[in-house]
Amino acid sequence: MTDSDSNFDFVVVGGGSAGSVVARRLAEETDASVLVLENGDGDADAPSLYDPTRWVENVGSAFDYGYSYTPHPATHDRRHPLARGKLLGGSGGINALVWTRGHQADYDEWAASGNVGWDFESVLPLLKRSEDWEDGESRLHGSGGPVHVERAKDLHPVAAALIEAGQSMGMPYLDDVTVAAPEGVGPVTMNIRDGRRVNPWDAYVTPLRNRNRLTVVTGARVQKVVLSGGRCTGVEYVVDGEQVTASALTEVVLSAGAIDTPRLLMLSGIGPAGDLAAAGIETNVDLPDVGQNLQEHPFLASLCFDANGPLPAPNNNLEGSVAFWKSRPDISRPDLMFVSMQIPFVTPEIGAQYTIPEKGFCIAPGLSRPQSRGYVKMREGGELEIQPNLLQDEADIAALADGVEIGFDMANGPGFREIAKRLVAPGSSMTRAETVSFIRDAAMPYFHPVGTCAMGTVVDPGLRVYGVDGLRIADASVMPTIVSSYPHATTVMIGEFASRLLTS
């Protein structure tokens, strides 16, 4: 690379869900030169990346960083895997394809805590901008955007049973679960077109890939940002074993995700001074909240059933429907989400306690508004500790215990009654202590880490890192609180929000 090759107006670190959006909008709407550095493979190709029924195969594959969460007593010191996509499209290239938004109150709360411009009505145009909704343009939906979104089709009996059971318990039917205030049950919405995953990089950037002001380097691992006199002037990265410095004349945008963005800040000396000193890193900017506030959705894998006869092959994303519901009637909005899984999906600890049938299925209660908070910390020798403190807050256990009861009610109602031979795990009459122990054994992360470079403490509402000029963050790490639904569509919206600021 020559010197002029390594000077760009913008450097975008990470071509994942949000980075794809930033790359596209900068390339499309400005004359700026843009460098995208992506650590993953540029030619990733495997059936599991595109076939929605095979997404689970991506976990632990060559397209997954294969991180894990540090064990915690609240989940019986079990080690939870943490999948993160390592390819163009990032985690959006390997995820479970659910495309739903947060509740409108999630965004309104972000704004109420000082993040001006992030309330639901303000971000709605950006949520719509990303979308190509199967029913076309409406007040809530966009059409003609990069990401085709549609309801699950040809519902599997296990997916249909969740809807029937939920309705029999009084849950409203949601023909569209992507409404402003989802509360009820319906077919899940997904980023799928013609039966194939819509990967964010493919959707946003591939059509513009030949713009000559857009340079994409894959297999490029960024090691740190370069600081000079309080300003970020570029990044250092390694590609093919060679160390390269790329200069950013205007800005660097970090879109490396909720684990690697705080890691990069800390490796650059931006973070909690005490932790950095202990890790042998010189502090450039003492920013105590870098890596704090890690939030994750837990779910239970699971209430597992033996089927009373052969079921069709799994379809859609192995789920196909979803319910958003309250653990108690006196709370303002749903704090639980339920899916049914067309396979018998349980943790090894549950598998060791019960005989799990080969042809079974599950009802999986999950928390959409967890109260537990964790952290990402730099340890001595540069190791990263990723601790979500899953279920540490007793309120989370209480809500999930209510979720288990609701799951039992669903199991006994119409829908599941017709397809279930019997409940296999757990036993249906458990003491409170047995329920809590079951929850601690069955809990798993949804792979939704967010919040580690939160707006208000690490970045301002314009996504600029406090204390450094020329450095912004656009990814899931900036969410102050996790949205009470799947976070992908919101992360893409964050990419749109950053792009609007960068291009105006």
Ligand X SMILES: Cc1cc2nc3c(=O)[nH]c(=O)nc-3n(C[C@H](O)[C@H](O)[C@H](O)COP(=O)(O)OP(=O)(O)OC[C@H]3O[C@@H](n4cnc5c(N)ncnc54)[C@H](O)[C@@H]3O)c2cc1C
- Out of 12, 18, 401, 459, which residue is the one contacting ligand X (CB under 6 A)? 18
Report in angstroms how near the CB of residue 347 gets to ligand X at its nearest.
Answer: 16
- Give bridge partners of residue 231 from the DSSP assignment: 228, 469
The SS3 assignment for 403 reads: helix
- Out of 8, 10, 12, 15, which residue is the one contacting ligand X (CB under 6 A)? 15
User: Which residues, other chains included, contact 15 with Cβ-Cβ below 8 Å and sequence gap of 6+?
Assistant: 23, 36, 37, 38, 40, 88, 89, 90, 201, 205, 216, 218, 255
Nearest to 200 by CA among 20, 422, 389: 20
# of chain residues touching ligand X (CB under 6 A): 41
Q: Which residue has the tokens 């002037």?
A: 233
* Footprint of ligand X on 19-58 (CB under 6 A): 19, 37-40
What gap in Å lies between CA 142 and CA 152, rounded to an integer? 18
Please state, as a whole number, how many other Cβ atoms lie within 10 Å of the Cβ of residue 23: 31
* Footprint of ligand X on 419-438 (CB under 6 A): none
What gap in Å lies between CA 105 and CA 14, rounded to an integer? 30
Residue 245 dihedral angles phi and psi, to the nearest 5°: -110, 130
Q: Is 312 exposed, middle or buried (0-12, 13-18, 19+ CB in 10 A)?
A: exposed
Q: Which helix (H) or strand (E) holds 317?
A: none
- Give the CA count within 13 Å in the CB-facing half-sphere of 72: 23
Kindly tell me which of 98 and 399 has the beta carbon lying closer to ligand X.
Answer: 98
* Footprint of ligand X on 140-179 (CB under 6 A): none
Amino acid, res. 261 = T
What gap in Å lies between CA 251 and CA 9, rounded to an integer? 7
Strand 420-425 to 303-307 pairing? antiparallel
Longest dimension (CA), the chain: 70
Nearest residue to ligand X on Cβ basis:
16
Report in angstroms how near the CB of residue 492 gets to ligand X at its nearest.
Answer: 8
CA 306 to chain centre: 31
Report in angstroms how near the CB of residue 54 gets to ligand X at its nearest.
Answer: 12
Contact window for ligand X (CB under 6 A) among 8-16, 68-76, 112-120, 163-171: 8-16
Nearest to 200 by CA among 131, 272, 143: 131
- Out of 52, 85, 186, 298, which residue is the one contacting ligand X (CB under 6 A)? 85
324 binds ligand X (CB under 6 A): no
* Footprint of ligand X on 354-413 (CB under 6 A): none
Kindly tell me which of 232 and 258 has the beta carbon lying closer to ligand X.
Answer: 258
Report in angstroms how near the CB of residue 339 gets to ligand X at its nearest.
Answer: 10
Kindly tell me which of 167 and 293 has the beta carbon lying closer to ligand X.
Answer: 293
476 binds ligand X (CB under 6 A): yes
Kindly tell me which of 226 and 430 has the beta carbon lying closer to ligand X.
Answer: 226
- Out of 118, 325, 345, 447, which residue is the one contacting ligand X (CB under 6 A)? 447
Kindly tell me which of 272 and 366 has the beta carbon lying closer to ligand X.
Answer: 366
* Footprint of ligand X on 253-272 (CB under 6 A): 255-258, 260, 264
Q: Which two tokens stand for residue 72?
A: 């915690």
Report in angstroms how near the CB of residue 94 gets to ligand X at its nearest.
Answer: 5
13 binds ligand X (CB under 6 A): yes
Kindly tell me which of 8 and 438 has the beta carbon lying closer to ligand X.
Answer: 8
Kindly tell me which of 86 and 141 has the beta carbon lying closer to ligand X.
Answer: 86
Nearest to 237 by CA among 209, 260, 206, 271: 260
214 binds ligand X (CB under 6 A): no
Kindly tell me which of 255 and 295 has the beta carbon lying closer to ligand X.
Answer: 255
String of contacts with ligand X for each residue 216-255, x by CB under 6 A: ----xxx--------------------------------x
Q: Which two tokens stand for residue 179?
A: 């409404």
491 binds ligand X (CB under 6 A): yes
As a whole number of Å, the end-to-end CA separation of the chain is: 31
Q: Is the peptide bond before 298 cis (omega within 30 degrees of 0)?
A: no
Nearest to 292 by CA among 368, 392, 385, 382: 385
Report in angstroms how near the CB of residue 434 gets to ligand X at its nearest.
Answer: 30
String of contacts with ligand X for each residue 88-127, x by CB under 6 A: --xxx-xxxxx-----------------------------
Beta strands in 16-129 (DSSP E): 34-38, 67-68, 81-82
Contact window for ligand X (CB under 6 A) among 43-51, 150-158, 407-415, 485-493: 485-493
Please state, as a whole number, how many other Cβ atoms lie within 10 Å of the Cβ of residue 54: 16
Report in angstroms how near the CB of residue 41 gets to ligand X at its nearest.
Answer: 9
User: Which residues, other chains included, contact 70 with Cβ-Cβ below 8 Å and sequence gap of 6+?
Assistant: 79, 385, 386, 387
Report in angstroms how near the CB of residue 139 gets to ligand X at its nearest.
Answer: 22
Q: Which two tokens stand for residue 382?
A: 């540069």
Contact window for ligand X (CB under 6 A) among 16-24, 155-163, 205-213, 245-253: 16-24
Contact window for ligand X (CB under 6 A) among 295-303, 368-376, 464-472, 480-488: 480-488
The residues that are catalytic are 448
Report in angstroms how near the CB of residue 40 gets to ligand X at its nearest.
Answer: 4
Binding site for ligand X (CB under 6 A): 13-19, 37-40, 59, 83-86, 90-92, 94-98, 220-222, 255-258, 260, 264, 447-448, 475-476, 486-488, 491
